[in-house]
Amino acid sequence: MTLTTILRHTAILGTVAFASCLTSCNTMTTGGAKFSTTFDPPAHRPHNPAAVTVNISTVAQRLYVMEGNRVLLATPCSVGKAGAPTPPGTHRIYSKEPKRRSHSYGEYPMPYWCEFAPAYGMHWGFVKPYPCTHGCVRLPKMAAAKVFAMVSNGTKVHVAASHPEDATIGRTLPVLDDSTMADPPNSYMMSDKVFQDAQYKGNMFID
């Protein structure tokens, strides 16, 4: 799959119906699965931003923003498929770009880019309930905005098959599946509006 489909859940972003879904408390569903465009995980403001780390579980497809043993945010994500896995190990974020475009896949948008290994990063993108990326970690839109705000250059990123949080808060997270949503028009993907629509509306933190 190319990045043409990364943001296909924005295809009806400009319509009244979709705008209503994004601003309401209702959750769009399909086949029992939630679309990532409506998923807004609660986030806690870090007490010590320098102590923030990120745990990514590739088997469960979960991402946790941590401060010591405290979970600040938990979200489903999509990781690399078998032929192009998300690189395991401990990394550090060294580049952040809120309006990143891919240099490999036709200049398609990758909002809230946080690079932790060469050409591998976390960003807003198309989410499926199974590994499907070329190695990057795709996040729901509102989760991506919050993660971007909570991490810094130098933040550690631990990528492993599993993490302890999978058995606790990870089990409570919904299944997200954007695969049935239509592709957005190329004119939209290449415009700056996609980044404007990615901006988080409201208060990010619950405390």
Question: pLDDT tens digits, residue range 56-115?
Answer: 999 999 999 999 999 999 999 999 999 999 999 999 999 999 999 987 766 789 999 999
For residue 80, give the DSSP letter: B
Summary mean pLDDT of the chain: 86
Could you give the CA distance from residue 170 to residue 93 in angstroms, rounded to a whole number? 23
Structural domain includes residue 159: yes
3-class DSSP state of 36: helix
Number of domains in the chain: 1
Residues whose CB falls within 8 Å of the CB of residue 79, separated by 6 or more in sequence, listed in order: 56, 58, 61, 85, 86, 131, 133, 135, 137
Q: Residue 21 pLDDT more than 80? A: no
Could you give the CA distance from residue 186 to residue 84 in angstroms, rounded to a whole number? 26
3-class DSSP state of 148: helix
Report the run of H or E that residue 57 belongs to, with start and end: strand 52-57
pLDDT of residue 5: 40
For residue 11, give the DSSP letter: T
127: containing domain: 3-198
Structural domain includes residue 203: no
Burial class of 205 by CB neighbour count within 10 A (0 to 12, 13 to 18, 19+): middle
Structural domain includes residue 205: no
Structural domain includes residue 207: no
Structural domain includes residue 204: no
Structural domain includes residue 192: yes
Structural domain includes residue 20: yes
Task: Report yes or no: 40 and 25 within 8 Å, Cβ to Cβ.
Answer: no
Q: Residue 17 pLDDT more than 60? A: no
Percent of the chain topping pLDDT 90: 76
Structural domain includes residue 102: yes
Q: Angle CA(67)–CA(72)–CA(77) in degrees, nearest 5? A: 115
Q: Residue 187 pLDDT more than 70? A: yes
171: domain CATH number is: 2.40.440.10
Quick one: pLDDT band at residue 9, thresholds 50, 70, 90? Answer: very low
For residue 29, give the DSSP letter: E
